[in-house]
Each structure stands twice: as structure tokens, then as C-alpha cells.
Amino acid sequence: MTKSEIVAAVYERVGGFSKKEAADIVELVFETVKETLGRGEKIKISGFGNFVLRDKRQRRGRNPQTGEPLTITERRVLTFKPSQILKSELNPHEDGAEGMDGHADRDSGVDLAAAAPSSHSSPAVVPARSGRNDASHARR
């Protein structure tokens, strides 16, 4: 998917924009996200994920091609942490427990074990994005 396909989606689904206006407004969305990250501020999109900035210290590394040792300078990097909702949407046959738990990485063992016998994952997971709270309440 490219930006032009996102523009087409906005043009068709939101309506009321010319194609040029749809292109401009999509550009503005990405531009705003970029500028915010460029100011050192992270971006949190619920149901999608977080774009997080991390400061890395200088460290010793190697050129993977030649094996030569080199110094990697300190730098600020951008990482994307997908939301639990997005993760479970990409894995519709999995147990729903992961998608409902904000700390699945740490807790999944307990929750998967506890939830596995009772849960019928897909129906609870699939509508999670639109009616998130309802879906999670229904599960408990």
C-alpha cells in the first residue's frame, strides 16, 4: 500500500473532498506525525500502536559485511510498538487473551493458560477495534 492508496480511501470513504484536497489532508496527517517525532515527542495511536523514540548510547559494533569492528555513535532512533489490538487483528485464530491485555509480553503465560479453556477467540477479537470496551467487557 502506498500513500496514493490511502488518499483514495480517504477520498472515497470520507467524502466531501476533491482528490487534491484528500491528497493534501493525508499529507498533512503524515507531516504532523513527522514533525511531532522530530520535536522529540512520541505518537500514540490507540488501536494501531505507538511510535516511540529511544536514545541509544555509543557502542562497539561490527560491520556485518566485513566483520571489522567499529564504533556506533550515540543516536536517537524511532521504533514502532504495535498495539495489542492490532496484534490480535493480525492473528485472528489466536486466543483473544493477548489482545485484551496491555502487558501481554509479560503476562501472557498466565493469561493464556487461564483464558484458554473458556474462550472462543475470533468473535471476541475481530470486533475489538470498533467496539473495544464492549468486546472486552463481554469476555470477562
Q: Which is nearer to another protein, 62 or 74 (CB)?
A: 74
3-state secondary structure of 60: strand
Reading the block at residue 114, the C-alpha cell is 487461564
Beta bridge partners of 51: 43, 80
Q: Which is nearer to another protein, 44 or 62 (CB)?
A: 44
For residue 101, how many C-alpha atoms fall within 13 Å in the half-sphere facing its CB? 16
Q: Please identify which residue in 19, 61, 72, 78 interacts with another protein, judged by CB under 8 A.
A: 78
Q: Please identify which residue in 5, 59, 64, 117 interacts with another protein, judged by CB under 8 A.
A: 5
Spatial separation of the C-alpha atoms in residues 76 and 64, rounded to whole Å = 21
Q: Please identify which residue in 57, 63, 69, 90 interacts with another protein, judged by CB under 8 A.
A: 90
Q: Please identify which residue in 20, 58, 61, 79 interacts with another protein, judged by CB under 8 A.
A: 79
Reading the block at residue 47, the C-alpha cell is 488501536
Q: Which is nearer to another protein, 51 or 67 (CB)?
A: 51
